[in-house]
Amino acid sequence: MSRDGRGTVSNKARKPASGGARKHDVIVVGAGHNGLTCAAYLAAAGLRVLVVERSQNVGGACVTEELFPGFRMSTAAYSLSLLLPEIIRDLKLDLDLRPRDPVAFAPYENGGGLFLWRDPKKRSEAISELSSNDAGAYSELHDLFAEAGRRLRPLLSYPATRKQARRAFRDSGIEGLFKKTIDGSIADLCEEYFESDFLKGYVASQGITGTTG
């Protein structure tokens, strides 16, 4: 569980060692990515940590499984956007992170599809096939959300209040976006910005990520 090996993971009850019960400072129930991260920090701080997990696989939403013979894939997580650089640094994780490009692909019903590239020019050219107006609108919305993300990211390290989140938007001059995205709905946002029903559908799908259980 940790660099010094002070933590253990178990998926079954163990009998106490001879001479008395096994002693732990902390017991983490569930070996999901949050539980494992918490346990790693605690173990690195010198505590004796036990992580218990009923599944044969550890990792929770970040687990990689062989769903089809020869094909291993993530069965839940699809993005590393919430993996803070501080965690990678603190836990000395040996990760080779490679950004995907295109960022997203949305297939057309009759073949082909919309590729959303990292390069703003390529992305706008792709969206222009649906609507030239939408290409500019998407870039505008993309930049607004990017700024909002930069303002909100520091709040992820503690249980921030709604008031603090609103202030983060206001300080960046985009309080109106807070009202649209937090108080409003993704459907209203799509109707305001876009002409293409296809693009509305893609953007709206991003608004329900993480809300289905």
Concatenated DSSP letters of 152-191: HGGGGGTT--HHHHHHHHHHTT-HHHHIIIIIS-HHHHHH
Shared domain for 77 and 18, answered yes or no, is: yes
Shared domain for 146 and 111, answered yes or no, is: yes
Q: Which residue has the tokens 């080779």?
A: 96
> Which tens digit of pLDDT belongs to each residue from 45-101?
999 999 999 988 889 888 888 889 999 988 888 777 778 888 999 999 988 888 889
Q: Which residue, 113, 143, 118, is CA-closest to 130?
A: 113
Q: State how many domains the chain has.
A: 2
Shared domain for 193 and 169, answered yes or no, is: yes
Contact 1, 49 (CB under 8 A): yes
Shared domain for 116 and 199, answered yes or no, is: yes
- Rounded to whole angstroms, the maximal C-alpha distance in the chain is 75
Residue 145: per-residue pLDDT: 81
96 is a domain residue: no
Shared domain for 111 and 147, answered yes or no, is: yes
Shared domain for 130 and 153, answered yes or no, is: yes
Shared domain for 75 and 108, answered yes or no, is: no
Shared domain for 116 and 84, answered yes or no, is: no
Give the angle subtended at the CA of 61 by the CAs of 56 and 63, to the nearest 5°.
Answer: 50
> Which tens digit of pLDDT belongs to each residue from 128-175?
999 999 999 999 988 888 887 888 888 888 888 989 988 888 887 778
Q: How far apart are CA 199 and CA 194, in angstroms?
A: 7
95 is a domain residue: no
11 is a domain residue: yes
123 is a domain residue: yes
Contact 30, 53 (CB under 8 A): yes
Contact 150, 170 (CB under 8 A): no
211 is a domain residue: no
pLDDT interval class at 4 (50, 70, 90): very low
Structural domain boundaries enclosing 26: 7-90
2 is a domain residue: no
Shared domain for 86 and 134, answered yes or no, is: no
pLDDT interval class at 8 (50, 70, 90): low
What SS3 class is residue 64? strand
Shared domain for 33 and 114, answered yes or no, is: no
Average confidence score pLDDT of the chain: 85
Contact 31, 51 (CB under 8 A): yes
99 is a domain residue: no
The CATH number of the domain where 70 resides is what? 3.50.50.60
Residue of 177 and 16 predicted with greater confidence: 177
Domain boundary among 49, 66, 90: 90
Q: Which residue has the tokens 């946002």?
A: 189
Domain boundary among 90, 113, 135: 90
Shared domain for 187 and 153, answered yes or no, is: yes
97 is a domain residue: no
